Chains A and B, each alone.
Chain A
Amino acid sequence: MNLVFKALSDPTRRHVLELLEKRPMSAGDLAEHFEVSKPTMSAHFAVLREAGLISSQRQGKSVVYALQLSVLEDALLRFAKGFGWRLQGATPVKLKNVPSTRS
Chain B
Amino acid sequence: MNTPLARYSHPVKMAMFGLVGISAAMAAVVFAARSSAIDAATTKRILGLCVAAMVVLVGNFLPKLRPLSSSGADPTKAIATELLAGRTLVFAGIADAGLFLFAPLQLARFASGVIGVCAIAIILASVASLALRSFSGERSAAEPAVGISAANRKVVVYLLFAFAYAFACACVAFLVDEGTQRDALASWMTIAYTVLFAVLFAMMNRGRSAR
**Which positions in A face B, CB cutoff 8 Å?**
22-26, 52, 55, 57, 59, 64, 66-72, 74
Contacts and interface: CB of A to CB of B under 8 A. Distances in A.
Interface string B58-88: 0111111010000000011001000100110
Contacts of B64: 52, 68-70
Interface in B118-158: 140, 143-148
Q: When A and B form their complex, which 8 residue pairs have the shortest distance between CB atoms, in order from nearest?
A: A66-B146, A64-B144, A23-B76, A71-B86, A71-B90, A71-B60, A70-B60, A24-B146
B63 A59 contact: no
A22 B61 CA distance: 20
A12 B115 CA distance: 39
B10 interface: yes
Contacts of A26: 144
Main secondary structure of the interface of A (DSSP, over half): mixed
Nearest to A69: B63
Main secondary structure of the interface of B (DSSP, over half): helix
Contact of A71 (B10, B83, B144): B83
Given A24-B76, A71-B90, A52 B11 contact: yes
A74 B79 CA distance: 12
Given A68-B66, A71-B90, A57 B79 contact: no
Nearest to A72: B60
A8 B113 CA distance: 37
A22 B108 CA distance: 39
Contacts of A64: 144, 146
B87 A71 contact: yes
A52 B143 contact: no
A52 B76 contact: no
A55 B146 contact: yes
7 contacts: A23-B75, A23-B76, A24-B145, A24-B146, A68-B63, A69-B83, A71-B60
Contact of A24 (B62, B75, B87): B75
A66 B75 contact: yes
A55 B69 CA distance: 12
Contacts of B60: 70-72
B138 to A, nearest CB: 14
A95 to B, nearest CB: 22
Contacts of B59: 71
A67 B76 CA distance: 9
Contacts of A23: 75-76, 140, 143
Contacts of A59: 144-145
A76 to B, nearest CB: 12
Nearest to A66: B146
Nearest to B88: A71
A25 B76 CA distance: 10
